Amino acid sequence: MASSILRFRKLCYVEPVNCFSDPKIKDPIGPSEALPKQRKQRKQGREWRCWDMCLPESPGLKLKDRGLSALHPVVLVPGIVTGGLELWEGRPCAEGLFRKRLWGGSFTEIFKRPLCWLEHLSLDNETGLDPPGIRVRAVPGLVAADYFSPGYFVWAVLIENLAKIGYEGKNLYMTAYDWRISFQNTEAHSLKFDSCCVKIDWASGVRDQALSRLKSKIELMFVTNGYKKVVVVPHSMGSLYFLHFLKWVEAPPPMGGGGGPGWCAKHIKTIMNIGPAFLGVPRAVSNIFSAEAKDIAFARSMAPGFLNSDMFGLQTLERVLRVSRTWDSVISLLPKGGETASSQANHSHPITNSSNGKLCFGVEDPIQFGRIISFGKDSSQLPSSQLKLNDVKELLQNRANQKESSCSGEVWTEYEDMSKESIQAIAENKAYTVKSYLDLLRFAAPGMMKRAEAHFSHGIAENLDDPKYSHYKYWSNPLETKLPDAPDMEIHCLYGVGIPTERSYVYKLSTSNKCKRIPFRIDDSANGNDGECLKSGVYFVDGDESVPVISTGYMCARGWRGKTRFNPSGSPTRIREYRHKAPANLFEGRGFESGAHVDILGNVAMIEDIMRVAAGEELGGDRIYSIF
Amino acid sequence: MLRHRKPKPQLEEHDEEEKKLKSEDPAPTSKKRWSCVDSCCWFIGLICSIWWLLLFLYNAMPASFPQYVTEAITGPLPDPPGVKLQKEGLKAKHPVVFVPGIVTGGLELWEGHHCADGLFRKRLWGGSFGELYKRPLCWVEHMSLDNETGLDPSGVRVRPVTGLVAADYFAPGYFVWAVLIANLARIGYEEKTMYMAAYDWRISFQNTEVRDQTLSRIKSNIELMVATNGGKKVVVIPHSMGVLYFLHFMKWVESPAPMGGGGGSDWCAKHIKAVMNIGGPFLGVPKAVTGLFSAEAKDVAVARALAPGFLDKDFFRLQTLLHVMRMTRTWDSTMSMIPKGGDVIWGGLDCNGANGRQCQAENFNYGRIVSFGKDVAEAESSKIERTDFRGAVKGNNFANGSCQDVWTEYQDMGIGGIKAVADYKVYTAGSILDLLHFIAPKMMKRGDAHFSYGIAENLDDPEYQHYKYWSNPLETRLPHAPEMEIYSMYGVGIPTERAYVYKLSPTTDCNIPFQIDTSADGDDDSCLQGGVFLVNGDETVPVLSAGYMCAKGWRGKTRFNPSGIPTYVREYDHAPPATLLEGRGTQSGAHVDIMGNFALIEDIIRVAAGATGEDLGGDQVYSDIFKWPKWTDLASQSDEQGHRPPIMRPELILAAIEDEMWQSGR
């Protein structure tokens, strides 16, 4: 059923049929000479069909009729989890899977050999790189992220529309990088520190050189397409990755790409960030903290006991937690900017307050959105004076002495090292803000945070001229880097609004305190009143279902707008928001006007915007529905 | 048992109804007892259940199960070369570049006509070829190129698949590069150190740059791989036509900018460690001639002999062969494989050219690539009556209108032209070109702009800077890179097409007027089989074409190889797979199956891990290629009287060759 719907939809995209207008009625847009001829063909070839009427015209054909054609080469940068991963070397249990997809595709291997699959997808806990004897690599080419799994498109719709106006392999490139590892690790991991200088240590092996490849590809496309600058289209975490690339490419080798200070200005026309997670997503915190987000919390309240029981002896959640904790890239999505840019424990930032007012009806809401994690519903609403806030740092120091590994078993989540007392102490602290959640995570997952903090930083810079900011760990944080000196390079933020998005969580202690249990979980019984934004232990604000508006839009709306310290050359920024509209009928599949984080890649208006920029047209100004 | 059980309850149910019915209409009820519907449903159910059971078992089967079975029957298999060398401690060192040959690379659709709806970014070529069966005419239309330009027809964009998937498997289960890739991965190769130089193999080499900038991409990728692997040079592995393509690339990359890549005269020396050609048709393949002449080769000819009338008929009104011919004639790249070097290399009327004689010697001249009639092929040249066809009036084809939309240039040719072609009786490598010009002028006009088939007299002549000479090893110099190595690796021991006996087709209205005379068979152990003369080779490319350049033409310091690039000939004797379980064999020497030959893979891995040709043991030869007559002898033997283009006259080039070719003393 689902596949047939998809096929209907596809037909509409391929057909040069104006879906809304009857063929006999005059085409409202651009009556060109070629039109009558086309109409003739149409009459002969196709009869009237239902789905022609109910689907909008594909933007590719619409713009082709208007005479647009491929001009600037396009680089797509996929986000987290959407890119495929394949096996290059594995343990005996993965025999026969050489160059087969472990991630993406039909995921059949999860069902056939789940433990083997998890083993191959996790990374080494110390280095954050491949465990010995295992090589899992990103799938290259457009197939890497056109469909995540059969029928679930990611980039495919955009690619198909771009192809309509003449894009093909030589001017369309999909950046393939291993989204599990930290950004600098996708380039090279071993630097040799000589007496004179730092060198890349070739002998000990390097990873994928994904950044070098991207640089070389952009340069090649620039040259072979008649010295036309590229348009980069990153999605979700890809925005952070590309931010990292912008800094990397201009930094001197060996840490950087050695492109020189004018590289970005010379090669890049526009960066069109789709649903960028510039300032992080709160979901990442709950993910690391207890491997659950809204979806899992809902599932738990629907079928209690299902996820909790040792089903098939698999300890599903614990294993997922263990695997995802080895993925450094998750850390890049933690909320950034501390209390200045986001919000504080005792007062919500005006931005967040107003946004929440639009979405949920209670304007006088007592919720403090700044508290990303609170223990108990009450503590999420109390004023801070009544809250008991311990210093988490003290706990942190105590932790070293509290090793108690009474639990044996193969699953390792770092929670096993923690004593009951310290778990209790965490829960007593009641509320964690954007600033202190980092301490909380350092406490809950010391191994992971130690690894990751060598690669990412989540602060906000006081003085950007400080030489320490030339280190690569600051490159992916927009609040701790300057944009490159490229006054003509445009930065667009395109994202959906109008969907409730997770912003903060109410936690409770897990009831069963035995071994191998994640001791914390979202309190799904915490529901607000009708007008409140609290549902099953999760507070919601405006956003695109995954990323709140503050993270997607703040940098383009404020942080980089005009000449600021983060944008010293004054690269122009633009905001394009797309209000979410759920698909009207079944034929629409995932919708043509969706604003959801991934489904927005099929949003007709957004695709049109991207194509117009790629074809060299100017977009209008900002288009804003939310608070900015 | 079961079958009896099923109808019973039904009988009971219907008992009462039947009684009622009997009283009214007794006739039909007696028949109903063994109604077919029940047994049919039951049978279908059984089939479905068994199908599901088997499917379930298949999916539940561990992946290594086939290997257990194989090992139980044949004893433990030898380690694949990757595992063996990994145990020896070899590690990935030099990045490798694969250059696939003709037809093995996948092609996908980027823009098409209405009939190709829903095929966006689906493979038209390679994969399962599902579309070929579903909509054959549409498929042919999209795979064909424009007849004038040799590029895409308007409104159609078919582009090569990129990445290793482009040519790892040609069709599901039919490997091309997959085995080599898997073995290289064992010693540590992965995507960043392996690169598939996929190109559109239908269009001429220079056009891949004009249209897709493929040559620039290959250059940029090689430079990137050298830079990101600590300055280690690449090992290039071209296969089949990829050999010629890479020859073209090496000239292109060093030529100055507008026509070439502007890499400078030391680009190859800086970036390439070795070129390991697998089954390279350096001097062309005779098969290409028959492909262009009558769209058939041995396989088609044999099929025709087995089932006469099948291919000739308007089967489903598809005119199969004509369509195939029309399509392949638009592919410029096929012209890159027309035999090169003329009569000097391939032999004239009365000499054999350079050949490995595998079967019994007999009174036959291999030089005659196309003969009309078996007796002509074997007669002495003085006894053959020939009338020149060049300049003959082609006449008009009366049946011009009735041939519908299929267009081959034969339709422009009348009976007079066809007869003139047949009356010339014998065509050698030199006159084949004239023949093709006569029967397919438009195609050859395109081809002449991109390829050349002669032997250069004076390589300093500025005319040789033109790109059309770059893929002909007899008209270019190798780049100045004395440390680079060139290998010729190919299979031997399989009969390979070398020359053909033709006849006129019985019906000449809409069909191709010529076809291979399948009735022409020699004696028992003769080389003539089904109208095809066979010599030693790898089933597609004769030893002459695959090995001659590395064995003679480039050996030592010659005028084609002024910097003395070391060359190595590595032959692999063909051994058919011992059992069915071996699949396509681990010791095969066949043109494509050699990609799974363990010995060849081992050689490649060793070189990629840093070995030189001397470390491999130098030449490895099974054929008698080194015993063949010197080039000069070949040239003086050749004495055809016909109108040979001056460039192919051996007298003129004799002196030059003699001076330079053999001064190294080999």
How confident is the model over B151-165, as pLDDT tens digits?
Answer: 888 889 999 998 888
Q: Would you say residue B3 has pLDDT above 70?
A: no
Token digits of residue A165: 């106006």
Q: What pLDDT shows up at residue A234?
A: 95
Residue of A nearest to B178 (CA): A99
The answer to whether the CB atoms of A163 and B120 lie below 8 A apart is yes
Confidence of residue B499 (pLDDT cuts 50, 70, 90): confident
Share of chain B above pLDDT 70, in %: 72
The reply to whether B591 belongs to the active site is yes
Question: Between A96, A159, A208, which is nearest B192 by CB?
Answer: A208
**Residues of A forming the active site:** 236, 544, 597
Rounded distance, CA A395 to CA A432, Å?
Answer: 14
Find tokens 């709806």 and name the residue.
Answer: B117
The answer to whether the CB atoms of A138 and B117 lie below 8 A apart is no
Helix, strand, or coil (residue B185): helix
User: Residue A538: beta bridge partners?
Assistant: A505, A535
Residue of A nearest to B158 (CA): A168
Which residues of chain B lie closer than 8 angstroms to A137, CB-CB?
A: 190-191
> Tens digits of per-residue pLDDT, A395-427?
555 554 444 444 444 455 666 666 677 777 777
Question: Between B213, B221, B230, which is nearest A170 by CB?
Answer: B213
Residue partners of A203: CB distance under 8 A and separation at least 6:
none
DSSP class per residue in A314-347: --HHHHHHHHHHT-GGGGGGS--SHHHHS--SSS
A45 in B contact zone (CB under 8 Å): yes
Q: What backbone phi and psi angles, to 5 degrees, belong to A52?
A: -65, -35
The answer to whether the CB atoms of A200 and B117 lie below 8 A apart is no
Contact call for residues A104 and A137 (beta carbons, < 8 A): no
DSSP class per residue in B60-129: HS-TTHHHHHHHHHH-SPPPPHHHHHHHHT----S-EEEE--TTTS-EEEEE--GGGTT-BT-EEESTT-
Q: What pLDDT shows up at residue A611?
A: 93
User: Hey, of A153, A168, A204, which one would you mutate to test binding to chain B, going by the most B CBs within 10 A of its CB?
Assistant: A168
ipTM for the assembly: 0.80
Q: What pLDDT shows up at residue B381?
A: 65
Find tokens 């010599």 and name the residue.
Answer: B535
More confident residue, A94 or A75: A75
Q: Where are the domains of chain B?
A: 286-663
Confidence of residue B366 (pLDDT cuts 50, 70, 90): low
A34 in B contact zone (CB under 8 Å): no
In the DSSP assignment, the letter for residue B403 is G
Q: Would you say residue B229 has pLDDT above 80?
A: yes
Which residues of chain B lie closer than 8 angstroms to A95, CB-CB?
A: 63-64
CA distance A443 to chain B (A): 38
State the DSSP H helix or E strand holding residue A279, giving kind and residue range, or none if neither. none
Is the bond into A36 cis (omega within 30 degrees of 0)?
no
Q: What backbone phi and psi angles, to 5 degrees, belong to A197?
A: -155, 175
What does pTM read for this prediction? 0.82
CA distance A197 to chain B (A): 16
Token digits of residue B408: 């081959």
Q: What pLDDT shows up at residue A131?
A: 87
Question: B199: closest CA among B228, B226, B161, B230?
Answer: B161
Confidence of residue A43 (pLDDT cuts 50, 70, 90): very low
A243-257: average pLDDT: 88
- Hey, what amino acid is at B162? T
Confidence of residue A295 (pLDDT cuts 50, 70, 90): low
Rounded distance, CA B336 to CA B349, Å?
Answer: 24
Which residues of chain A lie closer than 8 angstroms to B176, CB-CB?
A: none
Residue of A nearest to B220 (CA): A220
Confidence of residue B407 (pLDDT cuts 50, 70, 90): low
Neighbours of A458 (CB within 10 A): 22
Helix, strand, or coil (residue B572): strand
User: Hey, of B65, B113, B228, which one would you mutate to test binding to chain A, going by the most A CBs within 10 A of its CB?
Assistant: B228
Choose, from B152, B591, B603, B619, the residue flagged as catalytic. B591
Contact call for residues A468 and A459 (beta carbons, < 8 A): no
Question: B120: closest CA among A158, A30, A479, A335?
Answer: A158
Q: Would you say residue B403 has pLDDT above 60?
A: no
The answer to whether the CB atoms of A96 and B64 lie below 8 A apart is yes
A199 in B contact zone (CB under 8 Å): no
First to last CA, chain A: 41
Residue of B nearest to A142 (CA): B162
Helix, strand, or coil (residue B244): helix
Rounded distance, CA A402 to CA A396, Å?
Answer: 10
User: Hey, of A11, A44, A85, A170, which one would you mutate to test binding to chain B, going by the most B CBs within 10 A of its CB?
Assistant: A170
Which residues of chain A lie closer than 8 angstroms to B160, CB-CB?
A: 169
Q: What pLDDT shows up at residue B641?
A: 35
More confident residue, B488 or A390: B488
Distances in Å between the Cα of B140 and the Cα atoms of A132, B114, B133, B240 are 49, 14, 11, 24
Contact call for residues A507 and A373 (beta carbons, < 8 A): yes
B401-409: average pLDDT: 53
Distances in Å between the Cα of B302 and the Cα atoms of B257, B296, B439, B538, B578 are 49, 10, 24, 18, 25
Which of A251-255, B320-324, B347-351, B651-655 has the weakest average pLDDT? B651-655
More confident residue, A478 or A512: A478
Handedness of CA A611, A614, A616, A621 (dihedral sign): positive
Q: Where are the beta strands (DSSP E) in B100-229?
A: 107-111, 123-125, 157-160, 169-171, 174-175, 194-196
User: Residue A502: beta bridge partners?
Assistant: A540
A263-281: average pLDDT: 92
Angle between helices B286-294 and B320-329 (to 10 degrees): 120
Helix, strand, or coil (residue B517): coil
A146 in B contact zone (CB under 8 Å): yes
CA distance B515 to chain A (A): 39
> Tens digits of per-residue pLDDT, A421-433?
777 777 777 777 7
A:B CB pairs within 8 Å: 87
Residue partners of B116: CB distance under 8 A and separation at least 6:
B109, B131, B135, B138, B142
Q: What is the 3-state secondary structure (H, E, C) of B294-361?
A: HCCCHHHHHHHHHCCCCCCCCHHHCCHHHHHHHHHHCCHHHHHHCCCCHHHHHCCCCCCCCCCCCCCC
Distances in Å between the Cα of B598 and the Cα atoms of A522, A572, B217, B302, B522 are 57, 59, 31, 31, 36
B250-275: b (≥16 Cβ within 10 Å) or e? bbbbbbeeeebbebeeebbbebbbbb
Q: Would you say residue A561 has pLDDT above 50?
A: yes
Q: What angle do CA B349, B352, B356 make, to 5 degrees?
A: 160
Confidence of residue A246 (pLDDT cuts 50, 70, 90): very high
Which residues of chain B lie closer than 8 angstroms to A141, CB-CB?
A: 162-163, 165
CA distance A32 to chain B (A): 18
Which residues of chain A lie closer than 8 angstroms to B181, CB-CB?
A: 99
The alpha carbon of A526 is separated from its chain's Cα centroid by a whole number of angstroms, namely 28
Rounded distance, CA B336 to CA B468, Å?
Answer: 10
More confident residue, B484 or A330: B484
C-alpha torsion angle, residues A120, A126, A128, A132 (rounded to 10): -40
Contact call for residues B533 and B526 (beta carbons, < 8 A): no
Q: What pLDDT shows up at residue A361?
A: 33
Confidence of residue A271 (pLDDT cuts 50, 70, 90): very high
A89 in B contact zone (CB under 8 Å): yes
Which of A145-159, A611-625, B128-142, B517-531 has the weakest average pLDDT? B517-531
The reply to whether B204 belongs to the active site is no
Rounded distance, CA B472 to CA B550, Å?
Answer: 14
- Hey, what amino acid is at B637? Q
